[in-house]
Amino acid sequence: MSIPPADPAVDSPHPLIGEPRRPGGWLGIVAAWTVILIVVVLMAATRGGGGTPASPAEAMVPSDDPVAAALLTIQGRYALGVSRLASSSGGPISPDELFQQVASAVPTGPPQVRMRMAILAAELVGPDRGLRVLEELREAVTELDEDRGPTGFTLGETDQRLLAALTGHFAALAGERPGTLDADDHVLLSDELGWWGRVATVLDAPEAERAAVLSAATRAAWVVLGAFVLVGVAGLAGVALLIAAIVGVSTGRLRLAGSLDPGRRARHGVLVEVFAVWIVLFLALQIMGGLAAGAANAGPAGMLGAAFAAFMLSLVALEWRRVRGLDGAEFVALAGLGRGRGVIREIGAGFVGYAATLPLLAVGLVGTLLLALAAGLAGGAGAGTEPVEALLPSNGPAHPIVGEIGRSGLVTLMVLLTGAVAAPIVEEIFFRGCLYPHLRHGAARLGPVVAVGLGAVVSAFIFAVIHPQGLIAVPALMSLAIGFALVREWRGSVIAPVVMHAINNGAVLSLLVLLLA
């Protein structure tokens, strides 16, 4: 891709600013990086999670948590599905071990998450185990009242009714007392606990009725197993592609489209200014959109619509290049916003690049798992914690959008449009189109390997930190972003990274839709 020479006759005067200024300049770069670092530090601080409440009066525990409930549904359905498939085929598997795996992965949560866990225990292991989980919830609440005094935390009326209905139902199934669920209990469980409530109502039902409810679990097991096979095959192909790329670059057979001309560093300073304007504008639009949707009681669909609008409206930040006097054609070339080597070829390169990124993603996922283990979010979190902390959700590196999937057809559609269309387009334009080439060209005198590596890693870190999955997800998100940057370097265009980003988000969200339907 050729970069047009600097033209003193740049774009026409900006309608608001007037005559454009001279492109680039260290003052603009320093100001842009100051803004970026402030945003990153603030986002990292908010992503780290909270600690013990400052006072008992702040120990308020929500009744339910959509993200924790969704994660439990995914893992619980898979465990139930595997158990049913193994039972039908006569395979050796322990339901108790399956329950322990889910319990270690989703160990804590608000009362209604704990109740869903009790239903899973009753279905997999037996009603006695379900009663034990409910008793642990009851003891945690009692301990709060006795040890901390009036904290403001009590089970609400609905939670008390749910707890009483489940306790009586499990006790009756265990033969400890007579009784059964009445019609009101059926409605209560289904309305408040969703699919898990229906599972509870069919614990003692005929097999045909149970199979109709538990078919979602069987489907989940097949979906997960199929996804593992598909990812495994694609991962093996990715390893071969990654090795081929390394060999091709080292021997000079693989031509890179990116330019490392340090003489154009000043103009690349405009790219980081555009990125800084975007990140502030995007966050402001998100906050304002969320407040507006909340004030209008727009619900999940409205909140997601506001997020989609924030993504698309934030593209106005590209206008900053005109304010700084950078010619449009040159900006397109520097930011990789052109057609590359042809749109069709770039789209194909996106599929190839994503497969080659899967080995990097595997390494990142290992890093995230190690951080989760170190933080106590896996393998026994919650043990030995204070009572309030034991009831708080422990979602791990999950995006809040997970809790919205499956609420309705419109909400699911908005999730897919926001996550698999808007986010890939906008984030790739600014992260791999503006931030990455600025970093890469700024380090050009250090040599191509260092320049590309530094640009990819630093831009990937910023990309990962501002995402709402939390700091534990940083290694996994960074591995993806590094792959996007390397393909951006290979192709000289953001089209392929946009495709890679869309494939990743679309595949993950589609899988979640299938698992949570």
pLDDT of residue 66: 84
Rounded to the nearest integer, the mean pLDDT of the chain is 83
Nearest alpha-carbon partner for 168 in 176, 116, 140: 176
Distance, CA of 398 to CA of 513 (rounded, Å): 15
* Whole-number pLDDT of residue 297: 86
Residues 229-271 pLDDT 10s: 999 999 999 999 999 988 888 887 877 765 555 445 557 789 9
* 338 conformational bin, left if phi > 0, alpha if psi -120 to 50, beta if neither: beta
Give the Cα separation of 96 and 130 in Å (integer).
12
Long-range CB contact pairs, 339-347, < 8 A, 24+: 339/493, 339/495, 340/1, 340/257, 340/491, 340/492, 340/493, 340/495, 340/496, 341/257, 341/491, 341/492, 341/493, 343/495, 346/491, 346/493, 346/495, 346/496, 346/499, 347/495, 347/496, 347/499
pLDDT value for 58 = 40
Predicted local distance difference test score (pLDDT) of residue 49: 46
Asked if 188 and 165 count as a contact pair (C-beta separation under 8 A), the reply is: yes
Residue 402, pLDDT score: 78
What is the residue extent of each domain of the chain?
Answer: 26-41+224-516, 62-222
Residue 444 is classified by DSSP as G
Output the pTM of the full model.
Answer: 0.84
Note the pLDDT of residue 262.
46
> Cα(233)–Cα(476) distance, rounded to whole angstroms?
20
Contact 296, 452 (CB under 8 A): no
> How do residues 409-430 score in pLDDT, each as one tens digit?
888 899 999 999 999 999 999 9
Q: Is 102 helix (H, G, I), strand (E, B) or coil?
A: helix
Do the beta carbons of residue 460 and residue 486 sit within 8 Å?
no
**For residues 1 and 485, what is the distance between their CA atoms, to the nearest angstrom?**
17
CA–CA gap between residue 340 and residue 491 (Å, rounded): 7
- Residues in the chain with pLDDT values less than 50: 1-12, 14-20, 49-59, 262-263, 377-390, 392-394
Helix 474-491 vs helix 448-465: angle between axes, to the nearest 10 degrees? 140
CA 189, CA 196: separation in Å to the nearest integer?
8
